[in-house]
Amino acid sequence: MRSISVSDVLSPGKLKLRALVFVLGAFFAVSTIYLVGLEPMVYLHDTFHDVRHSTGFPCH
């Protein structure tokens, strides 16, 4: 059985990587919400409708 120390879990390299992943994820989420919020709803509906058709999901 291997024991895990706190220094292994919170090493500086892993903390930097986690921070980078968090920042990039937050930026992606905010930019997606911003772009979707500015897009007219008709275009969003048509886009998702086409995605449903392309994946074979029945939508009507």
Total domains, the chain: 1
33 part of a folded domain: yes
| Banded pLDDT at 8 (limits 50, 70, 90) | low
**∠ CA 22-24-27, rounded to 5°:** 105
Owning domain of residue 39: 8-55
2 part of a folded domain: no
1 part of a folded domain: no
Q: State the residue for tokens 């074979």.
A: 56
φ and ψ at residue 42, rounded to 5 degrees: -60, -45
60 part of a folded domain: no
3 part of a folded domain: no
Judged against a pLDDT cut of 80, whether residue 16 lies above it is answered with: yes
How does the average pLDDT of the chain come out, rounded? 81
